[in-house]
Amino acid sequence: MNQDSNRNPAAGPEEPEAPATEAGPATPEALMQAASERITVLEAELSEMKDRWMRAEAEMANVRARAKRDVDETRQFAVQKFGRDVAEAAENLRRGLHSIPAAGPGEPEIVGKLREGFEGIERSFIGLLERNGIVGTDPTGATFDPNLHQAMAEQETADHPPGTVLQAWSMAWTLNGRLLRPAMVVVAKAPPAELGAPGPRLDTTA
């Protein structure tokens, strides 16, 4: 007879024996160490996520700033071609004024009234342009600036330093600080007696 036949049926099924473990039950110190290690890992993950979030926020702020700058520039300079045409109209109005003879004795009254009317129109027109960011500058007497002036000729003179704008055939026009039309100018250069050693000539082809 085997052992199974000798087992008392009323005793119920046998309980499996618990496997033997080398380590004993976890101690409070081990639990605390495990918890500390887990907290360290979570804190590192949180720090990394915070750094990524801050970088993303900074990038979005840069994108918004660039977009705003682009929109502002587009708004300011969208009328650049129109501004050049308007500046040319202002130049033509000034040429018309200069074509009227200067006031003198015996001048017909109609000529004086015509001159005053044109001068009033010019002042009003120039004020309108300036309120919209279009500014004209007369460079006569200023130092030649290749960013604003285009030299059409050079004139020898001892009365002004070389590079001085002696005459402006037109004004320099800008739109919100950006060049629309350069001034056409005549620039002073030293007379032959003061030239001495040859030096660089002013580029009049700009």
In terms of Cβ atoms closer than 10 Å to its own Cβ (0-12, 13-18, 19+), residue 151 is buried
* CA-wise closest residue to 156 among 115, 201, 110, 125: 201
Of 17-31, 64-78, 91-105, 158-172, minimum mean pLDDT range:
17-31
| Class of the CATH-defined domain 80-195 | mainly beta
**pLDDT (tens digit per residue) in 32-83:** 888 888 899 999 999 999 999 999 888 999 988 888 888 877 776 778 888 8
pTM of the model: 0.57
CA–CA gap between residue 178 and residue 175 (Å, rounded): 5
Mean pLDDT of the residues in the chain: 82
CB count within 10 Å of CB 20 equals 5
> Apex CA 87: angle with CA 85 and CA 93, to 5°?
105
